[in-house]
Structures are given as structure tokens and as C-alpha cells.
Structure 1
Amino acid sequence: MSEAVLSPVSPAPHVPSVRLGKLSIGALGFLALALGTLQSVVEPALPLLQRELGVSPAEGALVANTLLITGAVVTPVAGKLGDRYGGKRVLVWLMAVVSAGGLLAGLAPNLPVLLLGQVLQGVMVGALPLSFILVRKHLTTGASQVAIGLVVALFTGGGIVGTAVAGPIAEGMSWHWMFALPTIAIIAATSVVTRLMPHDPPIRSVDRIDWAGAVLLSGTLLAFMLGLVTATSGGLPPFAVGALAAVAVALATAWVVVERRAASPMVDLRMLAKPAMWQACVLTLVITVSLGMVLFLLPQLFAIPGDGYGFGASTTDIGLFLLPGAIAGALSDSVGGIAARRFGSRAVILVGTLVTAVTMFALASLHTAAWQLVLAKVLTAFAAGVGTTALLARTATAVEAEDTGIATSLLVVTRVIGVALGVQIGGAILAAGTGSATGLPAESAFVTGFAVAGLISAISLLVVRSAKSGVVR
């Protein structure tokens, strides 16, 4: 599943002033492919990065999550920036930041520098809505739908490519190159887009960019995740961990206050008063937290030296093991909306969460063969993708037409946050179960992680059953 993909709303028919050529659309597609590759190289290589950098599983989870945090913040504001200053101009700005982050990660000597590189790379999420703006301004309605589908498909395909090539690059060259090579491709694609893509005029807007909300949301997420890391690593005394928790609560409270008072909030929390929205957000959060735990735990178990419960897999092998799940997740995004229309979102979510819960409980007791983990990844990735996409599609039709953009952006942000929280919770569980003598998580830690993921997924069943109206119909 690609957490960054937005579901664009079909524009009103229009006649573009400047038509895009095939080379321009191809350049956007190649850029999306390179971005998807850069985004996905961390997942199969995370155990290798932890060993090379000498960090705990909880600290390693931060490597995957910093990109997601930036993405959650950038997603709601990228489109507004593109409308205000021009989609092409903002796209080039963001790609400059992504390129700097990719090169920084490629040269990183330690964890803090790598994390900074991942933070900068996270603005890549904004490339998708900006690409949508460009094609919608320069193509007819039908042509823009085809072009948007191509960009989304290539971004998703890039995720599959990154999963497959991360291991061979990291093992054949070094892990630095798995960041550097996609970044070089991004720089090349951006230069072509800059030359071929026509400029789009900015749109005058009186709405202000909610920078305060963006800063407070990113600060809240970082404080929460750092609190999980310190609580499980034992590196800080209890009062320091408590202080971090207090900071996270204070930042979250301030963010809610700012969003409720802002004239043009980053995330319109007033939408949550509608049953369709709060039910969809709760379900999306629960589903993606469970998925995030699976995304983190499976590569870790593959990499554990084969001593009764591990497999001692190389980074290349891990990528191959995860590849079927990546493909299943990509396919799920196209199936979710169709399944919801035919069977109803309630039925789709019930089946998906039931499959995830049963799979996780089964994996907690049976994880002795690699195929069991591969099958679990395929089932959970497909189930979560179908469920969250069904929710997204259903919500887009359950709210008023003028609220569609706000509602879907809120769900996309929730989806990204849920995955990030799940990854960090999985890292915290493994860190808490790491033996001081071996430096490796015990088998019981993985059992606990899978069981917790199953319990979290089961909560979705309770939410769906208790929801009598709104989005889950």
C-alpha cells in the first residue's frame, strides 16, 4: 500500500491554454517512479541500517517514521502552495529539498544525520498533489485522468522497485548508495520537468497557510515517538520520560486549539463532528497502526540469525520476501473502491480487519517458515489497503461536495500517522524485549508484537459493529 497516494477529485471540464506533450507527462511519471523508489528502500534494509549504525529497534523505527511525519505535515499544504505560487515552481522547490535529503542520507555517518535526511525526503509526498495540479491545468478532463493514473501507478511501482533493489544495492555497494542512486534519478527527472513543463499561473487566494498547525503537528508526533524510544531503551530516568510525555500532550493540545481557531486550518477538525468523518478516521487509524506494526516486525524477524525463531536473511532476501506484499498492497488501492461500491464499505472493512486479526494471531503462534511470514504480509497489506481505500472512497461520497477535499485530506493524514505510530510501537515492543547479553529481541517480543497487532485490528471490528450510521454502511 502506498500511504502517500491521494485520490484526486475529477475536475470540471475545461479547455487548457497550453497542452502537455508526452515527454512532459513521461518526465512526471519518471519522477514519480524515482520518488516511490527512494521512499521504499528503507523497509527491507532497516535491519541492516540498525546493525551498521548500532541502534536499537526503537531507534531504527525512527528512520522509517521521520519521512512519514514530514509527509503527514506536507500533504495538506502542498496543494495550497501550488495554487498560490504555481504548481511547477513549488514542485521544483520540493524536489530540491528531497534531493538535498537524499544526498544527505547517502553521506550520513550516523543516525542523527540520516534522520535529518529522511525528514527532508519526506516532502516528496507533496509531489503527487502538485503533479495533479499541473496535469489538470494543462490537459482536458479525460486526458488529465489518464495522466494522473499514470503518475500514481508509477509512484506505486517505484515502491515495488525500491523493495526489490534495496538489498542488491546495499550489499553490492553500500547502504549509502540505496539513497544516492534514486536521488540522482530524481535530480535528472526534475531537470527534465523544469525544461519541458510549461509554467502554470498562480491563483490568488486569501487563505493563509497554516504554518503554526504544521509545526505543532510535527512536534507532537516527534515528541510522542521520542518518548516511546526513551521509555523502552532505558536511557533516560523516569522523570525525563514523563517530561517528554507532558511535552507531547502540551503540543497536541496546542495543535487542537490552533486548528479550531485557524481561518484556513491544515486539518479541519470541525469535520470530526460529523459521524461519517470520526468513524472513518478512527477506523483508518486503527487499521493503519496494525499495518505499521506488521511492516516493521516482519523484516526484523527475517533478519534475526536463525536460532530457533529467526531466518538470518540478507537484505536482498528480505526484499524478495517482502516483494509479494508490496505488490498486493499496490493492487489493493485499485480494488478498495470497487469492492466498497459492490459490497458496501462495512462488509469490506469487516472482512479486511477479520483477515488481519486472524493472520496476526496465527503468526504469533506459527512463524517457523519464511512462507508463513510472506503470506502474512500479503494478506495484511491487501486487507489494510482495501479497507482504507474503501473508507476513502466512501467518505468522499458521504460528505458534502464542497467538503470532499478537506475530508479526504484528513483521512490521508490519519492514514500516514497511523502507519508511523504502528512502526514506532513495533519498535518499542522489540526494544523492550531485547536481551542485554545477545543484543537481539527475544522470540517472545515478536509474539507479543504480533498479538498486539491482532488485538488492535480486532478493535476495528468493534468500531464497525458499534457504528450504526455514517461512513461504515
Structure 2
Amino acid sequence: MTTTLAPPVPIGKAAVGALGILALSTGALESVVSPTIPLLERELDMSQSEGALLSIVLLITGALITPLAGKFGDRYGGKKVLIRLMAVVSLGGTVSALAPNLPVLLVGQVLQGAMIGALPLSFIVVRKHLPAGESKVAIGVVSGLFVGGSMVGMLSAGPVAEQLSRHWMFALPTIAVVGSTLLVNRLMPADPPGRPDDVGIDWPGLLLLSGMLTTLMLVLALAPEAGSAPLVLVALVVLLAVFVTGWVRVERRAAAPMIDLNMLARPAIWKACALTFVICLGTTMAVYLVPQLLDERGDGYGFRASATEIGLYLLPGAVAATLAGPLGGLGDRRFGSRAVVNTGVVMMAVGLLAVAAVHTEIWHLVVGKVLIALANGLCVTAMMTSTATAVDPNDTGIATSLILVSRVLGSAVGGQLGGALLTAGTPSGSEVAAESAYVTGFVIAGIVVLSALFVTRTMSKGVKA
């Protein structure tokens, strides 16, 4: 007997606004670490590599949770899974707020990483309740507010940490997450489940993906010190290859794979994933290196900025990122995804290479960061909206999850690579990284981003509405 599902209830601006407020709150909670990494390094006696690890551990969890959240959302309904996921995020924010040391703070960040899975769940809800044209704009707004939440987080983290304590910079956005979750629960109608619950979860695939990501981060963390432990690094590289091989084999054979390699093999999907990875790698290297350079106390470089000042200097970039989300959705709708991505790639490469060449004044870093943030928002939003509206509605969660996993992986590699370069560029007995380490990081990021143009040449122009 076939069960006929009731049609979804149309949603209005209030419900979309509630999703936007939740995205803003989670974005703020995600971003408080970035401008305060130098402060946290001093308070918790962390090395620069440990600081880089702290900046990306949340993203590693996101890479694991996001496809699972997307799959559950497609199967059981986006709103139902979203509310439960936000309970985990709220717990993570509470642990981070109460953390007395680095290990406990890392646990809190791991739990907070579940927030990244909120985006595909929001997209599932929007896609099921709105027509294609309106859903593109709504997805752009939600994406933009998630990115724009960094404006609130970056601006408030420094002053809150310095005037109150580092504990409150986690506590305040966590309270906002709890409140906005209750608002979504009240205003957003339940969306009907998609596929029947007849296939189990791909736990072997999830475990292998966890091992793969953890090993990759260890390889990047130990690379600067490879000379002192070369055999350990080689062993980790071999282990990484084993995890990758095993994961691919398991996903190919799984009845309901964690990450659908068949979907990933579609040209539109793998190109979007490759572009997102490259763009987010370049973005995150800048996100990590710029605050470090602002805080740096080198001879003839660096600005000795406080956490509050760093937040203010990063604010224009956060504003640009906020605007980029809706602009990316509108640009994709009017000009097609390829035009938006090409514009973003060129803009980001110019920003990265310009900062590498000229960084003697604070405004050099501010302008460069604005270009990078705007470009990242344009590119990722264009990839997200085009992918979300190019697949069957029942595949929205897993398709957008692939883009978000690529975003997370690119961000994780970029952040850890930035930390590794600074660690390798710090002379023995010194706590100050060489200026050349910053220049090298920005140049590498710029060249990697430019390589995206080879992929965009083969993309379709995208659907214009």
C-alpha cells in the first residue's frame, strides 16, 4: 500500500527570516575563534600549529556531520533533524564557554561542528516549501547570513574576551543559537519526509572518512617538523592512503553510501566540489594568516594589534561576506554560475597576491581581506544555489552536503597549511614567524585559487532565470 504524503505547507518571510536568524547565530558562534587565536594562544599556552588546529577542528567535525545530516534530512525531514542538531551545537557552545584548557575547548569545538550540517537542512526545508526561483534567493539569503554571522562574531569576540573573558565570547552566541532554534521550531512548518526508512546508515564509510580527515590533519601538522621524525610522517602518509582506498571501496559497495560517489561523479557536482575546495583553501589561509600578521611583533612587519582591534580590522571583510551571499544568489539567477565564479576567482587571486606583495599598512590587509571575503561568498553561494536547484528535491540535502564537505576540507587544509608555514618559518628559540612565511602563504594561496580557472572553463554557464 502506497502512502500519499500531504503537500508541503507554503512558508512566508517570517519562517525564512527565522532560518536566517539561526544562520546568523551559528555563523557568529563559528567565527569567534578566528580573531582571538593570538589571544587564545597566549592564554592557553598554545603553539601556532595548535592554534591552527583549534581554528579548523570545528570544520573537521562539520565534514563528518554534514553528509549525515543531509541524508537524515532528505529521509526524515529537514526541520526535525535541524532542531536536534542545534541541541548538539548548543551543548558544544556550552562546553567551549566553560572550558578551562585546550583539550576541553577542543571537545566543545568538535560538538559545535555540527552547526555546519544546519545549512543543507535549511536548504531542504526551503527547497520543499518554495518554487525554484524563490528558493535560489532564499538559499542565498540564508547562506549570506551564515557567512555574515562572522561579522557579529568577529566584531564582538575581541571586546568580549578582553572586557569579560574568553568564556563569554562562546556563551553569548550560544544563547542566541538556543533562542533562534526555538523561533525556527515555532515558525517553520514540518516538511514531509522524502525516502522511506528502509536502508541503514553507512557507519563504515563514516568511520573511514573520520580516520581519513584526522590523518590528513596530522600529516599537515607534522609536515613542518618532518626532519625530526621522517618515519612518523611517512607512516601517516601511508595510513592516509590506506584510509582513502578503503573509503572509496566501501562507498562504492554500500547500499546507501555516506557520500554518493555516483552523484560525485557527475560533471556538474565534481566541478562544483573542486572549485569550492580550491576557493575555500585560499580563503582560509587568509583567514588564519591575516589575524596572525596583525598580531605579529616582528622587526619591520606586523602591527601588534589587540584582539579587539583585530576584530575591527576584519569587520569590513565580514560585511563584504554578508553582502556576497544574496549577491551570489542573484548573480547566479541573472548571469549564470560560471560568470559569478570566474569573477570571484579573479577577485580572490588579486586580493591574495596583493597582500603578499604589499602589507606594510593596516589598510593593505583590510582591503585584501574585503576582496577575499567578497569573492569567497560569491563563489560558494553560486556553487551552492546552482547545485541545490539542479538536482531532484529529494537529493537536495546530500548534493549540497557534498559542496559543504568540499568547503570544510578546503578550509581545514588551508588553515592547517597556514599554521604549518608559520611554524616552519619561526626560527629556533623565537616566537616570531619570519615575514617570508606570510608572503609564501599568500602566494601559494593565490596560485592555488588561480588554478580554479582551468575548471571554470569547462563549466556550463548555468541556468539563468
- Indicate the SS of the match to 1:312: coil
Does the Cα contact within 8 Å between 2:48 and 2:419 map onto a contact in 1? Answer: yes
Does the Cα contact within 8 Å between 2:140 and 2:329 map onto a contact in 1? Answer: no
Give the aligned partner of residue 254 of structure 1: 246
Structure 2 vs 1, CA of residues 140 and 252 (structure 1 numbering), >3 Å: closer, same or farther?
Answer: closer
Structure 2 vs 1, CA of residues 130 and 396 (structure 1 numbering), >3 Å: closer, same or farther?
Answer: closer
Q: How many aligned positions are there? A: 457
- Indicate the SS of the match to 1:461: helix
Does the Cα contact within 8 Å between 2:23 and 2:143 map onto a contact in 1? Answer: yes
- Indicate the SS of the match to 2:62: helix
What is the identity percentage for the equivalent residue pairs of Structure 1 and Structure 2?
55
Superposition deviation, residue 157 in structure 1 = 3.8
Q: CA separation in 1, counterparts of 2:219 and 2:182?
A: 41
Per-residue CA deviations over 1:64-109 (Å, capped at 9, x if unaligned) read 2111111122222214324555555533432232122112212223
Q: CA separation in 1, counterparts of 2:266 and 2:11?
A: 40
- Indicate the SS of the match to 1:441: coil
Q: CA separation in 2, counterparts of 1:428 and 1:157?
A: 28
Kindly report which structure 2 residues correspond to 1:23-422, keeping only aligned pairs within 5 A, or say none: 29-82=20-73, 84=75, 87=78, 89-131=80-122, 152=143, 154-190=145-181, 204-233=196-225, 237-305=229-297, 307-395=299-387, 406-422=398-414
Per-residue CA deviations over 1:28-63 (Å, capped at 9, x if unaligned) read 554433222111111111111122222222221111
Structure 2 vs 1, CA of residues 339 and 284 (structure 1 numbering), >3 Å: closer, same or farther?
Answer: same
Give the aligned partner of residue 430 of structure 2: 438
Superposition deviation, residue 196 in structure 1 = 7.2
Q: CA separation in 2, counterparts of 1:388 and 1:172?
A: 35
Structure 2 vs 1, CA of residues 312 and 141 (structure 1 numbering), >3 Å: closer, same or farther?
Answer: same
Give the aligned partner of residue 9 of structure 1: none
Amino acid at match of 2:244: A
Structure 2 vs 1, CA of residues 320 and 252 (structure 1 numbering), >3 Å: closer, same or farther?
Answer: same
Moved more, 441-450 or 416-425: 416-425
Moved more, 232-241 or 68-77: 232-241
Does the Cα contact within 8 Å between 1:275 and 1:470 map onto a contact in 2? Answer: no
Moved more, 221-230 or 382-391: 382-391
Does the Cα contact within 8 Å between 2:147 and 2:377 map onto a contact in 1? Answer: no
Does the Cα contact within 8 Å between 2:208 and 2:247 map onto a contact in 1? Answer: yes
Structure 2 vs 1, CA of residues 339 and 317 (structure 1 numbering), >3 Å: closer, same or farther?
Answer: same
Structure 2 vs 1, CA of residues 209 and 20 (structure 1 numbering), >3 Å: closer, same or farther?
Answer: same
Unaligned runs of 5+ in 1: 1-11
Q: CA separation in 2, counterparts of 1:183 and 1:270?
A: 38
Superposition deviation, residue 188 in structure 1 = 4.2
- Indicate the SS of the match to 1:206: coil
Per-residue CA deviations over 1:204-235 (Å, capped at 9, x if unaligned) read 42233223222322321121112211222469
Give the aligned partner of residue 8 of structure 1: none
Amino acid at match of 1:34: S
Q: CA separation in 2, counterparts of 1:211 and 1:471?
A: 37
Structure 2 vs 1, CA of residues 472 and 140 (structure 1 numbering), >3 Å: closer, same or farther?
Answer: closer
Does the Cα contact within 8 Å between 2:144 and 2:324 map onto a contact in 1? Answer: no
Does the Cα contact within 8 Å between 1:280 and 1:472 map onto a contact in 2? Answer: no
Give the aligned partner of residue 3 of structure 1: none
Superposition deviation, residue 242 in structure 1 = 1.8
Structure 2 vs 1, CA of residues 277 and 93 (structure 1 numbering), >3 Å: closer, same or farther?
Answer: closer
Amino acid at match of 2:285: M
Does the Cα contact within 8 Å between 2:74 and 2:397 map onto a contact in 1? Answer: no
Does the Cα contact within 8 Å between 1:279 and 1:472 map onto a contact in 2? Answer: no
Superposition deviation, residue 357 in structure 1 = 2.4
Q: CA separation in 2, counterparts of 1:329 and 1:24?
A: 23
- Indicate the SS of the match to 1:255: helix
Structure 2 vs 1, CA of residues 212 and 431 (structure 1 numbering), >3 Å: closer, same or farther?
Answer: same
Unaligned runs of 5+ in 2: none
Q: CA separation in 2, counterparts of 1:253 and 1:439?
A: 39
Structure 2 vs 1, CA of residues 342 and 112 (structure 1 numbering), >3 Å: closer, same or farther?
Answer: same
- Normalising by structure 2, what TM-score? 0.86
Amino acid at match of 1:161: V
